[in-house]
Amino acid sequence: MKIAMLYGPRDLRIEDHPLDTDSLGPHDLWVETVISALKIGTDRGNYEGAEQVPGAPDFPRWVGDSNLGVIRGVGDAVTDFAVGDRVISRYPHQSEFIAKDDEMFVKVPEGVHDEDAVYGHLYTLSALCYYKSQFQPGENVAVVGLGVLGLGAVGLGPCLGARTIGIANSPVRMEMAVRMGADATFMYNDPDLDAKLDDFTHGEGVDLVILTANPWPALRTSCQIVRNNGRVGIVALPGRGEPPLDFNPLDMEWFYAKGISLIAINGRAGYLFPPERGDRREWSSMCRFTLDLMRESKLEPKRLITHRMHYSQINEAYEMIYRREKNMMGVVFNWKD
């Protein structure tokens, strides 16, 4: 089994590890990876050696968390999965693995392209930004940070009934936001940004800002553009890898005086009308909904794939995101030799 392991900042290695596939336990799944996807923002921070995310393992550690594979073997007590099923998981960049059947696996329905499905968990996180922020259909939603996660939020907007605005830091990202269905896109440093947002929203303002970018100025922009009594859903890790602050993120001008809500997009989102069976906001249920949107071609992450690479090129890809190459967006690794 081959796996990408990070031993320190910019020290990424492909290693061979043994994997016993001949003696599966009762609840084991043997999964062979088809493709895995690179998550530019978080993966870059890990690669650079930025401040460690709480709960993340220390060096050496695996990298990546968007994996699509095919089940090649199951234990004799497994009932929900079968050999040949395509599944998505949060497993890292590796060629195959053995896991338990009660882990976060979701079966991919027929009709969903591999290059869409591999983003299933990531785009479910994009959806959680709406759910946890108590989004209501018809609201104006601005997305600050147009990486893969932010563009997922843009793409989900039309499916959920939002009027979406992409706030970009480059013309390339503006074009990508349009490709994913944004109703409007603006540069974050446009001197007329406030007037343009006011015009687009017919004076109603931005109800919800979804923040996916870590730099402190992105948080400041989010607090500035949201309307009075609006919400900022923060799925970013503000300040990760950034120098010390040069402003107060809770300045009365942006926070108290405007009466805004800052919402951490983490954990679970509640559901006002729980069904008798299941949980509409349980992760697997939300992920199945995301995959259904992909099956119906309403949500197509593969539109953003700019690089298709063999797993042996993984160091090259990580160096490209280290250099912050703006023409690099969706990256998938093929794990077939």
CATH of domain 2-121+302-334: 3.90.180.10
3-state helix, strand, coil in the chain (%, to 5): 30, 25, 45
Q: What is the pLDDT of residues 89-124, one digit of tens each?
A: 999 999 999 999 999 999 999 999 999 999 999 999
Task: Write down the pLDDT at residue 56.
Answer: 66
- Classify 65 as helix, strand or coil: coil
> pTM of the entire structure?
0.91
The answer to whether the CB of 203 falls within 8 A of the CB of 235 is no
Q: Where in the chain is the domain with CATH 3.90.180.10?
A: 2-121+302-334
CATH of domain 134-264: 3.40.50.720
Going by C-alpha positions, the residue among 299, 290, 237 that lies closest to residue 128 is: 290
Q: Where in the chain is the domain with CATH 3.40.50.720?
A: 134-264
Mean pLDDT of 287-312: 95
Going by C-alpha positions, the residue among 206, 92, 210 that lies closest to residue 149 is: 210
Work out the pLDDT band at 326, boundaries 50, 70, 90.
Answer: confident
Contacts 24+ apart (CB under 8 A), 123-126: 123/152, 123/155, 123/156, 123/290, 123/299, 123/301, 124/283, 124/286, 124/287, 124/290, 125/149, 125/152, 125/235, 125/265, 126/150, 126/152, 126/153, 126/155, 126/156, 126/235
